[in-house]
Amino acid sequence: MSLLAKIQGGAVLRYPYTLDELRADNPRTSFPAVIPPAALAEFGAVEIAQTGQPAHDPLTQVVEEAMPVLINGAWTQVWSVRPATAAERTARAQAVQKALVDAVQTHLDATAKTHGYDGILSLASYAASNNPPFAIEGRAGADWRDAVWLYCYGVLAAVQAGTRPVPSAEELVAELPALVWPS
């Protein structure tokens, strides 16, 4: 779906502008399913050339879409970057932390499931088993779980201190200590 704007006299009147709005603005006009750019222009609508968001620090900056501008004869999507407010920084930090913690928990549970456990809690509970093979696996799982969370919370602290960039969930999981299953 292309982005549209309603333009009049070289100024943006409405953005974004949808095909439904175009049809509502012109109720006596029958538009084809696919409207060519020349037909859009007859009604003051133009397609907007899409651009990617600029690089920014997702914890301390906010990217906002601005009104399109005419660049080299093409109406083009533009972005602005501004500092995040204190409330936005807090909300983003909480969202990032939750996403990373959820990814780590999913990884712990998925790894435990590879050996038939319901999840990491189930695996770690066997550390107290009176059956030595179960107890050995349970202890390995509990020790691994602890090492993973220590590492995770160290990364989160470094991110919060600004000494480390925010990793993606995949990057963080790839860095975590590996579980060595007892033989």
Digit-coded pLDDT (tens) for 27-70: 999 999 899 999 999 999 999 999 999 999 888 899 999 999 99
Residues contacting 31, CB < 8 A, separation 6+: 19, 22, 23, 39
- Same domain for 50 and 91? no
**For residue 87, how many other CB atoms are within 10 A of its CB?**
8
Residues 69 and 106 in one domain: no
pLDDT value for 183? 86
Residue 131, in any domain of the structure = yes
- ∠ CA 94-99-101, nearest 5°, is 90
Q: What is the pLDDT of residue 47?
A: 96
Largest separation between any pair of C-alpha atoms in the chain: 82
Return phi, psi of residue 175, to 5°.
-85, -20
Q: Which of 83, 102, 136 represents a domain boundary (last residue)? A: 83
Whether residue 165 sits in one domain with residue 120: yes
Total domains in the chain come to 2
Quick one: 76 and 139 in the same domain?
no
Does residue 16 lie in a domain region? yes
Co-location of 72 and 97 in the same domain = no
Are both 158 and 101 inside the same structural domain? yes
Q: Is the same domain home to 159 and 92? A: yes
- Asked whether residue 14 falls in the same domain as residue 72, the answer is yes
* 160 contacts 94 by C-beta, under 8 angstroms: no
What is the domain extent for residue 10? 3-83
Does residue 64 sit in the same domain as residue 22?
Answer: yes
Residue 78 maps to a domain: yes
Which of 83, 105, 128 terminates a domain? The answer is 83
169 shares a domain with 90 = yes
Asked if pLDDT for residue 1 goes beyond 70, the answer is no
* Same domain flag for 126 and 147: yes
The residue out of 83, 107, 132 marking a domain boundary is 83
9 within a domain of the structure (yes/no):
yes
In a domain, 135, yes or no: yes
Say whether both 121 and 76 belong to one domain: no
Residue indicated by tokens 């456990």:
117
Is 183 part of any domain?
Answer: no
Specify if 181 maps to a domain. Answer: no
> What is the pLDDT, as a whole number, of residue 33?
87
DSSP 128: G
Residue range 128-152: mean pLDDT, rounded = 97
pLDDT-based confidence at residue 23 (cuts at 50, 70, 90): very high
